[in-house]
Structure 1
Amino acid sequence: MDPLSQGVLGASLSQSASKKQHLVVAGVLGLLAGMAPDLDVLIRSSRDPLLFLEFHRQFTHSLLFIPIGSLLCALLLHSLYAKKRGLAFKQSWLYCALGYSTHALLDSCTSYGTQLFWPLTNERYAWNTVSVIDPAFALPIITLLLFATLKRRLWLARVAFVWALIYPTLGMIQRDRAEAAGWQLAKARQHTPIQLEAKPSFANILVWKVVYETEKHYFVDAVRVGTSVKTYPGDSIAKLDVSRDFPWLDPSSQQARDIERFRWFSNGYLAQDPTNELHIMDVRYSIVPNQLKALWSIKLSPSANGDTHVEYATHRDNSPASREALYRMLFDF
């Protein structure tokens, strides 16, 4: 989830558990601690472009790390801020722990994947109920927290936290409706999917991207789940076959190992990019949900030596045509 949403969610829980006289300081501690796990984005390597994919949403996002991560936040924020405002260290740690504890669970509501139980397992949990940026989730929380802080009303902070629980629940209902529509669409095509998932499109829980896998292909479609259900049939693409698509690649090379790392990150949804044969794309994400315009990919090089890593590339499809296509689905016109 975006840092602001993470921060205000952490603030809503810490304020909900605070005393009236601690409302502001509890909110600040919860806000900053709620954003702190995403400092793992600083773990990068100029030599290994995929390193950040392995560490983002890893140990800092583990539920088992909450006591340690919140303690580190409290050690810093208590001396810099909270102690001067009359809080004992235990109180600072409590508010930091409450804020920190919300982060990984909210991230798991998105479709990116979060290692909730690292180091016991490196499984990436993705419940696919909220987009990584969603104003309908964040703006009510921000508004309620502002009034809670200005008016010193604890109940407003609690309402904000309740909304943070309600919205992903609505997303879960919408996800299940979208998946049901996806299964019907696959059945109409006489397909029996190996797996099928519905993911919220950008900034809403009304239009969903349905991705399903058959023996040899991936299919992507859009589904609008409002008062009625409307489907927008989309594209399909052959699943990645490394020996077929990259016959020149040495299976023992670093590039081959990087493909498997990228496969783990993308939950197996890999295909050769139809617009650039040296790119391997993550099929799961696109701005227009029924299209195969990946948001990120890796690039291979036939001339690279055995120790050279792949390149990591991001693709921001923010063209007017893409925005209009998504708007048409959102507003059903």
Structure 2
Amino acid sequence: MDSLTQIVLGAAVGEAVLGRKVGNKAMLFGAIAGTIPDLDVLTRYIMDTVTATEWHRGFSHSIFFSILFAPVFGWLVWKLNSKEDASWKDWSWLMFWGLFTHPVLDAFTTWGTQLFWPFKTRLAFQSVFVIDPLYTVPFIILLILAFFQKRTSLKRARFIKLGLLISSSYLLLTVVLKGIAFGKFEKALEVQGIAYNQMNTRPAPLNTILWMANIETEEAYLMGDYSFFDSKSIAFKSYPKNHELLGSLKSHDKIKRLIQITEGWYTISEKNGQLYFNDLRFGLISMDKTDTQFAFSYKLVPNGEDLIVEDMPKFKQDAKRLMASLWLRIWGN
């Protein structure tokens, strides 16, 4: 999830664990703990694109990391707050829950997380977008209300409990909505007589009303979208796999790793003699089905025996274009 959401969750968890003893400091250090796992993004400045992508939501988002570093960070915080009525164990417990709830929340997103690192299985329920106001806004309001209460106030504890209850219930609701949307896509494929190998679904940006689907057939991938306000049948757009365009590059180590990262959901496109590796899991850069630019695309540049993989940049105008069309599409086709 986005940084603000993780800060809010970490602060709420910190308050729930240690708020009565240390007051707002529990929120502060809970928020810090909730952001630590995402420091893995710094690897993009020191590692190649493929390695940095592999590391993202890997080791730092694992149970192992939480258990290993909670007492380390807990000791540091304890030393900084030696006058507070909280022990090293107390602070370590706070840091553990701040570190651990971060990847648990990320597991509901499309990218998912390697919660059980060093095992490479990526846990991804794909039921919530990385930024979801319905999850974050009520939570942050209740957190702010709690912040201005005395540490021993019953209202303070109730606000935090309510925030955790509402946010957790919403996450469970998104799983139910995903199941309903999956059924709608499945029925549409059956009605249209489309045979397929596998399908995955995910919410469109910023909401859980509009859902997207990737469907694998023998020669191509189909993409479609469904809103709970739709009145017309679901339309699917076909995108050729073009895996053969890789040629000998398919045996290259970086390509094998990219395929593993995308779990096989990828296409290859060629523009002006240049090859691009497209990650299908996050769809197109816009709601326009005639668009061929994917949200996550990698330029493949052979360099002797090596292969340079460049992450294609994203631009503000693309986001603005997506938001405008997204708002219209949510309300039905």
Q: Where does 1:178-193 land on structure 2 (aligned, <5 Å)?
A: 178-193=181-196
Structure number with the higher strand fraction is 2
CA distance in 2: counterparts of 1:280 and 1:180, whole angstroms = 30
Match of 1:198 in 2: 201
**Which residue, out of 134, 144, 147, partners 2:132?**
134
Q: Where does 1:26-37 land on structure 2 (aligned, <5 Å)?
A: 26-37=26-37
CA distance in 1: counterparts of 2:137 and 2:223, whole angstroms = 30
**Which residue, out of 280, 283, 294, partners 2:280?**
283
Report the CA distance between 1:91 and its aligned residue: 1.3
Change in Cα spacing, 1:97 to 1:321, as seen in structure 2 (3 Å) is closer
Q: Where does 1:162-311 land on structure 2 (aligned, <5 Å)?
A: 162-226=165-229, 232-241=234-243, 244-247=244-247, 249-250=248-249, 256-273=252-269, 277-285=274-282, 286-288=284-286, 291=289, 292-301=292-301, 304-311=303-310
CA distance in 2: counterparts of 1:97 and 1:46, whole angstroms = 27
**SS in structure 2 at match of 1:236:** strand
Report the CA distance between 1:301 and its aligned residue: 2.6
Report the CA distance between 1:257 and its aligned residue: 1.9
**SS in structure 1 at match of 2:223:** strand
8 Å contact 1:141–1:160 — kept in the other structure? Answer: yes
Report the CA distance between 1:229 and its aligned residue: 6.8
Q: What is the one-letter code of the residue matched to 1:283?
A: L
8 Å contact 1:33–1:96 — kept in the other structure? Answer: yes
CA distance in 2: counterparts of 1:70 and 1:167, whole angstroms = 28
CA distance in 1: counterparts of 2:323 and 2:72, whole angstroms = 42
Instruction: Tell me the alpha carbon deviations over residues 70-129 of structure 1, each in whole angstroms, 9 at most, x when there is no partner.
Output: 22322333333x33434221111111112111011100000102111111x201111011
Moved more, 11-20 or 52-61: 11-20
CA distance in 2: counterparts of 1:309 and 1:301, whole angstroms = 5
Match of 1:14 in 2: 14
Match of 1:112 in 2: 111
Structure 1: give runs of 5+ residues left out of the alignment.
none
CA distance in 2: counterparts of 1:156 and 1:76, whole angstroms = 29
8 Å contact 2:112–2:126 — kept in the other structure? Answer: no
Report the CA distance between 1:4 and its aligned residue: 1.3
Match of 1:41 in 2: 41
8 Å contact 2:188–2:234 — kept in the other structure? Answer: no
**SS in structure 2 at match of 1:210:** strand
Match of 1:94 in 2: 93
Report the CA distance between 1:146 and its aligned residue: 0.7
CA distance in 2: counterparts of 1:2 and 1:168, whole angstroms = 15
Change in Cα spacing, 1:234 to 1:251, as seen in structure 2 (3 Å) is closer
Structure 2: give runs of 5+ residues left out of the alignment.
151-155
Report the CA distance between 1:269 and its aligned residue: 0.9
Match of 2:79 in 1: 79
Instruction: Tell me the alpha carbon deviations over residues 142-199 of structure 1, each in whole angstroms, 9 at most, x when there is no partner.
Output: 1101111102311101111112211111111111111111111221232222111110
Moved over 4 A (4+): 228-232, 274-277
Q: What is the one-letter code of the residue matched to 1:110?
A: T
TM-score by length of 2: 0.89
Moved more, 23-32 or 231-240: 231-240
Cα RMSD of the aligned pairs, angstroms, is 2.3
CA distance in 1: counterparts of 2:235 and 2:260, whole angstroms = 27
TM-score by length of 1: 0.89
Moved more, 154-163 or 46-55: 46-55
CA distance in 2: counterparts of 1:231 and 1:111, whole angstroms = 25
Change in Cα spacing, 1:123 to 1:79, as seen in structure 2 (3 Å) is same
Q: What is the one-letter code of the residue matched to 2:76?
A: L
8 Å contact 1:74–1:96 — kept in the other structure? Answer: yes
Tell me the matched-pair count.
323
State the identity as a percent: 27
